[in-house]
Every structure is written in C-alpha cells, then in structure tokens.
Chain A
Amino acid sequence: MEIPLSNKAAILPRDRSQRAESAFQIIILLSALAIVVLLAAIFLSLVLYSLPSLTAFGPSFLVRKTWDPVTGTFGALPFLVGTLLTSFLALLISMPFSLAISIFIGEYFKRGVVSSILKNVTELLAGIPSIIYGFWALFVLVPIVRGFQMKVGIFPYGVGIFTASLILSVMIIPYAASIGREVITLVPSGIKEAAYSLGATRQEVITKVILPYARSGMTAGILLALGRALGETMAVTMVIGNSNRLPHSLFSPGNTMASVIANEFTEATASLYVSSLIEVGLLLFLVTMIINVIGRFIIKKISIGA
C-alpha cells in the first residue's frame, strides 16, 4: 500500500528530509539560473553572429534608409520606424477598449453570465493563432481600409502601417484587459466601501480610488501587450505591405523588424546579408529590453505615488 505523501514526509528521518529539501532548493535554483543563462546566451549569440555587419556598418546601420541585398548595403531605419509606429499606434488604439473591458468585468459585473462570457471571449482572443488574424485582416480589414482611403482620397493601398496597427490592437487587447481586470479585482473592498460611504458615485470610485490604486498593475499589463506587439510577425507581415522604404505617412506600406527577418532569413545566402538580418534581431531584442526597463521604471514611480 502506498502511504500518502504528507504522511510519508512525516515519518522520514530528519536528515533524509533535509537532504530532500536541499535537493529541491538546488533544482529550483538551477532552473531559475537556466533562464538567465539562456537569455545571456541568446544575447551573446546575436551579438556574435551580427559581428560582420556590426563592423561593416557600425552605428550607420540604425540611420541608413536603404536595404539592398543585391549591392550589400543594409540599413534598418525603415524597420525600426515600422516596428515602433505599428506597436505604439496599436497600443493607443487598444487602450480605451482594454481599459473599458477591465473596468467592466473587474468592477461592474464581477460575476454572472455576461461577465463570464465577456471574460472568456477576451481570453479566447489571445488564443487565436496570429495567421488567422492575418487572414482575417487581409480579407476583411484591408477592403474596409481601402474603401475608407478611397473616400478620403488617399492612394487606396488598403495594406500598410495603419492596417497593421489595427490588427495588432485587436491582438493585444486580451493581454492588457485580463491583467487590468485582475488588478482591479485586487483593490481592497475596504477602501472602495469607504469611498462609497463618503458619498462617492460609482464613477468617482472608479476614477479616484480604483484606477489610482491599480494603475501600476495596469501599466504592467499594457507593457506586456506592447511586448507582444513589438514581436508580432505573421499577422503584421500579411497586411503591412512589406515595402522596405521609409513610410512617409500612417497609410503608406512599410515593414517591421520581425517581419523582415521572417521574410528574408530563409533565402539569405551572402554572409553579410545573414549577419545584417541577425543584427536586426539584436536591435529588436534591445528595443524590447529598453522599453521594458522604461516600463519597470514607470511602474515603480507610480506605485510609490499610490
């Protein structure tokens, strides 16, 4: 007969249980360290493999506008601009929606059918593969944007930076919304009730009590969403137009760092070409890291204030 685990631990000799304890600690430590080592290794190999292009172009890689595999001149400015533009625009578009959803299911309808449907649907959005988003954007969103562009009198490409931002914003809503909901429900009911007892309306409670209390957590959610937007590849590639020129308006076709890597890596043969693509990867890595660090800083600042 097997003895339940809790009883088993109780009857073990003391030194044996201590040994098990320390082994457990070592395993935990090693797996935690493995992540750090892995991250360092990824960074190092990115640097190592992009050395040829780092030495060939230096800092001009960041400001050059041409990307010409035939002559071997590579500059990442169009992709850098494309990534930052699409990600921040997507964040801007998605913010009102994710904020509204998190307040709605975090405060107004905590339980019940409506809330559980809304909660599940938002979370389901996160589970849809990005290629599906891409196809939907290509066949539904692009014609709509094209129609709009024709009315306004812009050249009706349909695809471009704006369309990519639109689809990205839908894709990142669940990340910001579900974390937002989580932190809103964590606001102690004591302080909310205190506010109500002082005669505050619901709107006042939300804007003056809940949001200030939850804002550092919500910022973390937005940051996670931004990280997702920066690295998103497939859906963006399908609707951004894949033009390696610097975009001159929000509606013009462009390209992002992730999508240029996905597009060109498989058939890149010249070593400088491959190395330049890896340097674009390094750049993406650094941009993500910098934005994360800035975000951390903001979170820290506003949590002290709260």
Chain B
Amino acid sequence: MKALLCACLAFGLFCVSPLSPANAVELLGAGATFPYPLYSKMFYVYWQETGVKINYQAIGSGGGQRQLLKMTVDFGGSDAFMSDEALEKAPAKILHIPTCLGAVAITYNLPGSPKLRFTPNVIADIFLGNITQWNDQRISGLNPEQELPNMNIVVVHRSEGSGTTFVFTDYLSKVSEEWKKKVGRGKAVNWPAGLGSKGNPGVAGLIKYFPGAIGYVELGYALLNRMPVALLQNRAGRFIKPSTTSTSIAANVTLPEDTRISITDTEAPEGYPISSFTWVLVFKEQAYRGRTREKARALSNALWWMIHEGQKYTEPLHYAPLPLEAIVRAENAIQSISYNGNPVVQ
C-alpha cells in the first residue's frame, strides 16, 4: 500500500516537473481549419529555423475568435473578418493580419466531366433550386459546345458551419438579389435546396458518387483531388478558371487599412470572383495577462516571417499568396503591435 502511494507521488511529481527548458518561447494559436495545412507547414519550418514552437489548433474560425477574446491563445485564425460590433465589444483593439488567400470552386459530377461555364445568375438559380435540370436552356446556352444530359441537378452543400460556406454565400448575396433576400450570407444558412455533407471531403465524396450533383469545395481541395471545376464569369464579364493565380489577382483591389474587406465578386478583370483572405487575429497591445515582452516579440517576428518568407509555402499547397498591397498592409499592422505602448518590431 505504502509502496503504491510512493509510486503515485513520484509519478505525480514527475508529471509536473519542468522537463522543457524554461526560456523556450512557445506560441499558441487556434482558429480556422481552412489554412491549417499551410500553417502546419509554415510553423514546422519556422520551428526548425528559429527554435520557436508555434502550436495551432484548428477549431474553426468562430472558436478562434472566441479563444482570442477570452485571451487563452496568442493569436486566432479566422476566414471571416470580425464585424464592427464584435470589434467594439472586444476587450482591446484587435488587428487583422492577412496570411494568404483561398477560393471556392464549383465542382460537379456529369458523364464525361465536361468543362462548364457559369454566370453568377445561373449559379445562384441552381443553388436556389430554380434551375433543376442539367439540360436547362440557361446552362446549355452558356455551354453550346457541350451535350448536357437530361438529368436532375442535386445541390450539395456543407452541413456544418464553415468559412467556405460563408465565402460562397457572401458571393451569392452580392450577385443575386433573390439569394440575398431569401437566404443571405453566413457560415451556416437555411439552404433552399439540396443535401448537406460534412467538410470538403464529405461534399466531394457525395458529388463523386452522385451523377448530376453540383457543389462547392475549397479550391485547394478540388485541385488536389483533380475534380472538374467550373469557369465563372466575373464582374468584368470574363470567364475565369479558379487557380491560385486568379485568386491572388482577385485581391488586386484597393484595400482598406485594416484589410477587413470581402473580395468576392471582385472588380479585378482577371480575378476569380469567389476568393477571400484568411487572417490571423492578434491584440494590438501585447502586455496583457502577464505576458512577457519576449513573447510579444516572438509573435510579431513569427507573423512577419509568415507574410514574407512563409509565402513561398502557399502555392505548393494550393493556397494563393498575398499580393503586394496586402503585404504592405500586413506589415503596417505588425509594426503597430506594441508592448506597454512601445512598438515591438522596429
């Protein structure tokens, strides 16, 4: 009995003893799942280069914002920028730092995988359930060279709340009055038609096994799995193929100082219209909850690295790199990070 107690005690002490060196800075982030593969790669390389460990938990954009507001993490990740009200309610000023861009691709399952073109109105009407047949005149009119089958259209959407859905419905709300009135934009919406499936793999899986299905997935996921993607007409009237390049170009518009902008339905003539930034969120003033100056410094340096050296990891993983103007805005934001009022990065 005594021996057991001793063993328990020893084990307990062993557990709490500081095994890691006390001076190693470790950063903790949480949030969006969309940039998770990219962040994992970036943070791994960063750890090898600098010895600073960054732990990122992909708990979703909403969770990332909540955890940052509760000050339990050093930074949050989010696919959607915070609203004015949310920023006002926050305990301190929050900075948005864009890290890369993503896009949403329209994918489908039709015999022969034809290359299809869509206009914004046709896409909206398909997802509203107004167009129900593949050989509808409005689709075949846009794709005269394709023989479209007499097949029911089955819409597939995400079943769980997701940043991908937010970007897609944000786009539809901009291009269609009816969508804006009936459905609106959000991470989860009241879908007027179709089936829901969980995650990109769920949507892709359902489409793959369902002739006549159409849905939306992250561009990276579609490219990685060689799924057929539709060309979409943008505001300039051109049909744009979704790619990392056309996504980056979509951000070539005048950006506000805090980069909180939706770039769906972009004005950029060669830009793909369903694109979006993804952000890292941090507090501007880093001296909170007994954080050290070193920690603030490590965070700023890591962010600086992400928007410069880190950008080269975007395209191999099918993310779109930041365009120049966005990098400048992000630099300004990082330089404004302070510790007790003094700038952290010179």
Contacts and interface: CB of A to CB of B under 8 A. Distances in A.
B323 interface: no
Interface string B106-121: 0000000000000000
A182 B185 CA distance: 54
A267 B60 contact: yes
Contact of B59 (A139, A159, A266): A266
Report the interface size class on chain B. Answer: 20 to 34
A262 B160 CA distance: 8
B26 to A, nearest CB: 25
Interface in A263-294: 263-264, 266-269
Interface string B244-272: 00000000000000000000000000000
B202 A238 contact: yes
Interface string B185-212: 1111111001111100010011001100
B228 interface: no
Size class of the contact patch on chain A:
20 to 34
A263 B160 contact: yes
Contacts of B191: 243-244
Nearest to A259: B159
Interface string A139-166: 1001100000000000101110000000
Contacts of A159: 195, 206
Interface in A217-267: 237-238, 241-244, 253, 255, 259, 262-264, 266-267
A67 B190 CA distance: 6
Contact of A70 (B61, B154, B190, B206): B190
Contacts of A177: none
Contact of B189 (A68, A157, A243, A253): A68
B63 A70 contact: no
Contacts of A70: 183-186, 189-190
B310 interface: no
Contacts of B152: 155
B62 interface: yes
A259 B198 CA distance: 10
Contact of A268 (B62, B189, B196, B205): B62
A244 B186 CA distance: 15
Given A138-B205, A155-B152, A238-B202, A267 B188 contact: yes
B161 A68 contact: no
B286 interface: no
Given A263-B161, A267-B60, A243 B186 contact: no
Contacts of A259: 159
Contacts of A157: 154, 195
Contact of B187 (A69, A253, A255): A69
B275 interface: no
Nearest to A265: B161
B209 A69 contact: no
A82 to B, nearest CB: 12
B162 interface: yes
A201 interface: no
Nearest to B154: A157
A203 B187 CA distance: 59
A242 B202 CA distance: 11
A237 B159 contact: yes
Contacts of B202: 238
A69 B198 contact: no
B276 interface: no
B196 to A, nearest CB: 3
Nearest to A69: B188
Contacts of B194: 243
Interface in B136-187: 152, 154, 159-163, 183-187
A303 B222 CA distance: 59
A66 interface: yes
Nearest to B187: A267
A264 B59 contact: no
B65 interface: yes
Contact of A263 (B61, B189, B195, B196): B196
Contacts of A6: none
Contact of A267 (B154, B162, B195): B162
Contacts of B190: 66-71, 244
Contacts of B160: 262-264, 266-267
A65 to B, nearest CB: 10
Contact of A269 (B65, B183, B205): B65
A253 B161 CA distance: 18
A243 B196 CA distance: 6
A224 to B, nearest CB: 27
Contact of A242 (B62, B187, B189, B195): B195
Contacts of A71: 184, 190
Nearest to A71: B184
Most buried by A among B60, B66, B159: B159
Given A142-B209, A264-B161, A266-B62, 20 more contacts: A70-B183, A138-B209, A139-B209, A143-B209, A157-B154, A237-B159, A238-B197, A238-B202, A241-B195, A241-B196, A242-B198, A243-B191, A255-B196, A263-B160, A263-B196, A263-B198, A266-B161, A267-B188, A268-B188, A269-B187
15 contacts: A69-B190, A138-B205, A139-B209, A237-B198, A238-B202, A243-B195, A244-B190, A244-B196, A259-B159, A264-B188, A266-B60, A266-B161, A267-B61, A267-B63, A268-B161
Which 6 A/B pairs are nearest by Cβ-Cβ distance?
A267-B161, A242-B196, A242-B159, A70-B184, A68-B190, A263-B160
